[in-house]
């Protein structure tokens, strides 16, 4: 059985996404040592701490077609500055700028600067392991629905817009390198007039993506560069390509389940750590009939607010491996 493992600081064991005769539908899990496995269909509403995106029109049934790609002077200029072995900056779908990481073993990952979103990860000679929804658009006007989208500085609904603003803005390339055959991209996000109109704080976020042999690792660092404290929640809303009728998610034994409306999700986190402390297992079978069978979301998250004093930072790492 082929397995896709997702590991982080949440627990010592890894999440494993592979082929097995069980069907995960929708749930969220939360604690410092997370574990849960569901083998029967889920019935009921999602908890208030986990929000589902808008439904997919039933008319969307065909596989997603790539959107037009143009030649971008911006991409060419950035490639001259940051391109190196295994790292190329190119024009992507809709003319948006993307960075392609290519391993010596034939593996590949694509990262769009808009949203700082990893949209593709292919192992050597393999199929894409990430999923982009059929209704995803590459216009720079709405978040890219698929891959590894950012939810920052808020996960789900709350005092600001759904899932925050990090997925709605263009990130900068901070650096690139290829250390020992592992192409690496570091993206940066800093305040803008747009972000301040929503969330009026000074901050710095870096997102490091490293493509290894049969592995894709990420590291997110949030730093408070303001003169006052702020708090945030965040998540990587990870979409994995999978036939849900033949998929199971393991490595979640013993966790607190929040998949029923009568369970209280007001304070789902046990303990507090400066890392990913929560996981969300989600599949929109109630709202996306056209494509819900083709993917599952297993998300690293920080659902309990992290408070940073001026000068403090928070770091979270994720590793996907085969």
Look at residue 71 in the predicted model and tell me its pLDDT.
65
Neighbours of 23 (CB within 10 A): 20
Instruction: Average the pLDDT over 127-144 and give the result.
Output: 90
Instruction: Average the pLDDT over 96-115 and give the result.
Output: 97
Q: Do 109 and 101 contact (CB within 8 A), yes or no? A: yes
Q: Which of 18-22, 81-85, 115-119, 146-150 has the lowest mean pLDDT?
A: 18-22
Kindly list the domain boundaries of the chain, sorted by start residue: 3-52+71-321
Which CATH number applies to 3-52+71-321? 2.70.98.10
In angstroms, the CA 305 to CA 311 distance is: 17
Residue 87 has pLDDT above 80, yes or no: yes
Question: For residue 211, what are the CA distances in angstroms to 27, 86, 123, 160, 297?
Answer: 29, 9, 10, 33, 21
Residue 299 banded pLDDT, cuts 50, 70, 90: confident
pLDDT, tens only, 268-285: 323 223 366 766 665 666
Look at residue 244 in the predicted model and tell me its pLDDT.
72
Q: Measure the CA dihedral 35/288/169/230, to 10°.
A: -40
In angstroms, the CA 1 to CA 197 distance is: 49
Residue 255 has pLDDT above 90, yes or no: no
pLDDT, tens only, 188-226: 999 999 999 999 999 999 999 999 999 999 999 999 999
Residue 19 banded pLDDT, cuts 50, 70, 90: very low
Residue 93 has phi, psi (to 5 degrees) of -60, 145
In angstroms, the CA 238 to CA 182 distance is: 22
In angstroms, the CA 83 to CA 87 distance is: 5
């Amino acid at each position: 059985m082929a397995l896709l493992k997702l590991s982080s600081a949440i627990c010592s064991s890894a999440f494993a996404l592979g082929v097995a005769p069980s069907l995960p539908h929708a749930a969220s899990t939360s604690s410092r040592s997370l574990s849960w496995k569901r083998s029967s269909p889920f019935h009921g509403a999602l908890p208030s701490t986990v929000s589902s995106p808008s439904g997919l029109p039933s008319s969307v049934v065909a596989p997603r077609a790539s959107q037009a790609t143009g030649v971008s002077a911006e991409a060419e200029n950035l490639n001259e500055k940051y391109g190196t072995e295994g790292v190329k900056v190119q024009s992507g779908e809709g003319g948006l700028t993307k960075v392609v990481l290519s391993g010596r073993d034939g593996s590949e990952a694509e990262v769009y600067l808009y949203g700082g979103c990893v949209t593709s990860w292919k192992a050597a000679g393999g199929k894409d392991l990430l999923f982009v929804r059929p209704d995803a658009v590459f216009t720079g006007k709405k978040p890219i629905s698929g891959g590894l989208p950012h939810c920052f500085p808020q996960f789900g609904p709350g005092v600001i817009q759904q899932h925050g603003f990090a997925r709605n803005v263009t990130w900068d390339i901070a650096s690139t390198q290829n250390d020992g055959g592992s192409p690496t991209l570091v993206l940066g996000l800093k305040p803008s007039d747009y972000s301040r109109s929503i969330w009026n704080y000074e901050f710095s976020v870096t997102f490091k993506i490293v493509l290894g042999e049969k592995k894709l690792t990420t590291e997110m660092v949030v730093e408070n560069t303001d003169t006052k404290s702020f708090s945030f929640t965040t998540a990587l809303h990870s979409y994995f390509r999978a036939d849900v009728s033949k998929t199971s998610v393991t490595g979640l034994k013993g966790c607190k389940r929040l998949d029923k409306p009568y369970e209280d999700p007001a304070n789902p986190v046990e303990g507090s750590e400066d890392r990913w402390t929560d996981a969300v297992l989600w599949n929109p079978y109630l709202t996306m009939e056209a494509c819900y069978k083709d993917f599952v979301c297993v998300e690293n998250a920080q659902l309990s607010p992290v408070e940073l004093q001026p000068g403090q930072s928070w770091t979270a790492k994720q590793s996907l491996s085969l």
